[in-house]
């Protein structure tokens, strides 16, 4: 089974990544709930990297790698960009304030942080790495 893919930064490839992660996880006989939660978290991060991190520039790419080691699923998503998008500086929003002002959007990373056990973003020069991990046992 292939454990890595490379996609161009277009929203059309979100389904490619969802299917890639779902197919990989299906081989481990996990519950549909766990698979769907992980796929949702990955989809949110990949969408953010495509849209905000790379401006939907199809000449840019994301490298996506998945693994399960010692009952922990991990996915790494890498890109090369020079934008000011900085997910590592994320702070959870005040949901009551969002409701009060009627704001829509901006809560995806909060959901990712609640689904996954570890969410790590590192940047060195123009090289960005996101790692999401979830214990399965």
pLDDT class of 109 with cuts at 50, 70, 90:
confident
Rounded Cα distance between 5 and 31, Å, is 24
Mean pLDDT of 121-127: 84
- State residue 1's pLDDT score: 47
- State residue 108's pLDDT score: 76
- State residue 136's pLDDT score: 94
DSSP string, 58-120: TTSEEEEEEEEETTEEEEEEEEE--S---GGG-----HHHHHHHT--S--HHHHHHHH-SEEE
Write the pLDDT tens digit of every residue in 54-95. Answer: 999 999 999 999 999 999 999 999 998 766 555 555 566 565
CATH class of 4-135: alpha beta
Which DSSP symbol is given to 9?
A: S
């Amino acid at each position: 089974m292939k454990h890595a893919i490379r996609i161009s930064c277009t929203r059309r490839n979100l389904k490619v990544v969802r299917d890639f992660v779902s197919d990989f996880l299906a081989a481990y006989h996990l519950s549909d709930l766990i698979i769907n939660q992980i796929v949702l978290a990955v989809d949110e991060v990949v969408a953010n990297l495509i849209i905000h991190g790379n401006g939907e520039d199809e000449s840019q790419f994301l490298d996506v790698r998945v693994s399960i080691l010692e009952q922990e699923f991990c996915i790494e998503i890498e890109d090369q960009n020079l934008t000011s998008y900085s997910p590592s500086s994320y702070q959870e929003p005040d949901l009551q304030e969002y409701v009060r002002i009627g704001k829509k959007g901006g809560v995806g990373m909060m959901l990712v942080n609640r689904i996954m056990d570890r969410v790590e973003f590192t940047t060195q020069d123009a090289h960005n790495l996101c790692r999401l991990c979830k214990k399965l046992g």
